[in-house]
Amino acid sequence: MNLENLKIADISLQECLSKIKNLASQENCFIDEIPEILKEDFNNFIFGHTLSTLNNRQITYDMKMYYDKLNKNGIDYSVKWNM
């Protein structure tokens, strides 16, 4: 693990996955509700996908695919989770 690039989370892994699972179950997934620690990973994942806007907030219809990606492949960088 490269400690220079280690990101520090202010929530636990379980809380983070729970938030993404909850977003994935919603019809409109607001991108600003993604936990901060996952923003960079999500932006890498969503690159090339279509985003929409609802009430001046960006939404995605690909959150279930992102949740599946997290469960299968994890995050693209190392994270120290809050316990």
Q: How much is the pLDDT for 83?
A: 85
Cα distances from 24 to residues 7, 70, 82, in angstroms, run: 24, 12, 23
Q: In this structure, are residues 75 and 3 in contact, taking their beta carbons and an 8 Å threshold?
A: no
Q: How much is the pLDDT for 31?
A: 94
Q: How much is the pLDDT for 51?
A: 86
The whole-number mean pLDDT for each consecutive block of 10 residues of the chain, a chain of 83 residues, reads 78 95 92 95 91 91 94 94 90
DSSP count for the chain of H helices, then E strands: 3, 5
pTM of the model: 0.87
